């Protein structure tokens, strides 16, 4: 075979050994070793031939290979300086692959990915939230994000108002995208095994997000409201630096009781509150 499958435990061990590498804990390296998981992620991303995909953290090329086999044009951003040499070997011969060595939080994505694209990634868990929020807040032409995250993060991303895990992260993500968990992935599917179960989450980016006049201010209100979960809205917003009188007026104007807690508010209610505040 021209391209031996990377998503396999012995292939992964062999590649790491050949290049004298060890998975770096600091960089959140847990390599996928199951080709069915790779296939399922690619299927969840609904890749069609020639489609532009941004992959974050290609590692040794495991998921990248699945995306390329499905016909995607993959641009991958990898922080680890040792991996370009590995990828040059493991993905040799695939034409539609471009690698950028650098930090995904520092790369100019607007310049790198000017046309509509999907994001597909098995994210490094130490910066999952930062990466997702940065992708969603930057107003890039992203249509879909399919990512492996810790199950606990997936629960927060998909939580509905009133549930224990509903928080600023749920609002910030759901405000921009329709989010669902596609499937769970147990630790055994990675080398080395992570300590927790993972989930693949699909975010379909909304063409027109919930209407808010000033997004930055909206997020400030959401963060402030969830700042002290146990307190009422009026108290937690006051604790976050908003003037109590203004808060009470705004809550009344938005038809929201000052006694309610942030975790009971829908995204539309947060939007209304931010616009009158
Ligand atoms: N995609 C591979 C797979 O599925 O087997 C590897 C996934 S591994 C969980 C996360 C990858 O993200 C690692 O290759 C790691 O080096 C890379 N990474 C960590 N921090 C990064 C950053 N700030 N920017 C880009 N890549 C990063």
Query: Is 244 found in the same domain as 194?
Result: no
Domain-embedded: residue 3: no
For atom 12 of ligand 1, which residue has the closest CA?
57
Query: Is 115 found in the same domain as 82?
Result: yes
CB atoms within 10 A of CB 70: 19
Task: Give ligand 1 pocket residues (Cβ under 6 A).
Answer: 27-32, 56-59, 62-63, 77-80, 103-105, 122, 124, 127
230 pLDDT band, cuts 50/70/90, is: confident
Residues of the chain with pLDDT > 90: what percent? 90
Which residue segment(s) compose the domain that 81 sits in?
A: 9-205
For the chain, how many structural domains are there in total?
2
* Mean of pLDDT values over 137-155: 95
Residue 150 contacts residue 118 (beta carbons within 8 Å) = no
Residue 194 contacts residue 186 (beta carbons within 8 Å) = no
* Mean of pLDDT values over 8-29: 96
- Does the pLDDT of residue 3 top 80, yes or no? no
Residues of the chain with pLDDT > 70: what percent? 99
- Does the pLDDT of residue 1 top 50, yes or no? no
Query: Is 155 found in the same domain as 121?
Result: yes
Q: What is the mean pLDDT of the chain?
A: 94
Residue 237 contacts residue 248 (beta carbons within 8 Å) = no
Query: Is 142 found in the same domain as 55?
Result: yes
84 C-alpha to ligand 1 centroid (Å): 12
pTM: 0.94
């Amino acid at each position: 075979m021209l391209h031996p499958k990377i998503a396999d435990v012995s292939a992964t061990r062999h590649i790491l050994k050949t290049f004298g590498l060890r998975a770096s804990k600091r960089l959140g390296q847990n390599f996928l070793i199951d080709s069915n998981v790779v296939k399922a992620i690619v299927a969840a991303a609904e890749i069609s031939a020639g489609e532009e995909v941004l992959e974050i953290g290609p590692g040794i090329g495991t998921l990248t290979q699945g995306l390329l086999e499905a016909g995607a044009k993959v641009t991958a951003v990898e922080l680890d300086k040792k991996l370009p040499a590995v990828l040059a070997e493991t993905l040799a011969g695939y034409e539609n692959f471009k690698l950028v060595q650098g930090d995904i939080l520092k790369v100019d994505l607007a310049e790198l990915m000017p046309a509509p694209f999907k994001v597909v990634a098995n994210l490094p868990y130490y910066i999952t939230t930062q990466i997702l929020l940065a992708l969603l807040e930057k107003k890039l032409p992203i249509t879909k994000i399919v990512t492996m995250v810790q199950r606990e993060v997936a629960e927060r991303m998909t939580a509905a108002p009133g549930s224990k895990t509903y928080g600023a992260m749920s609002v910030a993500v759901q405000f921009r995208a329709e989010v669902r968990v596609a499937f769970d992935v147990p630790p055994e599917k990675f080398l080395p095994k992570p300590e927790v179960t993972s989930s693949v989450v699909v975010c379909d980016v909304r063409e027109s997000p919930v209407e808010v006049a000033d997004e930055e201010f909206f997020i400030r209100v959401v963060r402030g409201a969830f700042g002290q979960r146990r307190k009422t809205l009026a108290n937690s917003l006051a604790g976050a630096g908003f003037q109590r009188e203004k808060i009470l007026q705004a809550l009344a104007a938005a038809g929201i009781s000052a006694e309610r807690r942030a975790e009971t508010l829908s995204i539309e209610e947060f939007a209304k509150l931010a616009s009158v505040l």
